[in-house]
Amino acid sequence: MKDESKIFFNNVEQKTLQMLKQKYGSIHDAVDTMEKELGIANANNYLQAAYEMFLENPSSTNYNYVIATMLTYQYWSQKDTNEFIITEEF
């Protein structure tokens, strides 16, 4: 297994993913569909706000906000759900 600290570009990415995993588990730990949809909606709202802040002031802090919110959006988009899918093979 790779050392995760070596695959991140900066500390913000590493901390963001650690916090998400600590609170919600890995992307493979299934959650209810509604929880995933809420996570995606919240992440999208934060991403839009961070992007607007970055456009107004392209500082390193605002850049890190954009990166953190992109990771959060990606996390929730890839998160498994408990939903039964009819197309699953048995």
Q: What pLDDT score was predicted for residue 1?
A: 44
State pTM to two decimals. 0.80
Residue 82 dihedral angles phi and psi, to the nearest 5°? -80, 0
Query: How is residue 30 written in tokens?
Result: 């299934």
**86 burial via Cβ count (<10 Å: 0-12, 13-18, 19+):** exposed
SS3 52: helix
The answer to whether 84 touches 26, Cβ cutoff 8 Å, is: no
Q: Where are the domains of the chain?
A: 10-78
What pLDDT, in 10s, does the model give residues 47-80? 999 999 999 999 999 999 999 999 999 999 999 9
pLDDT in tens, 1-15: 455 555 556 788 889
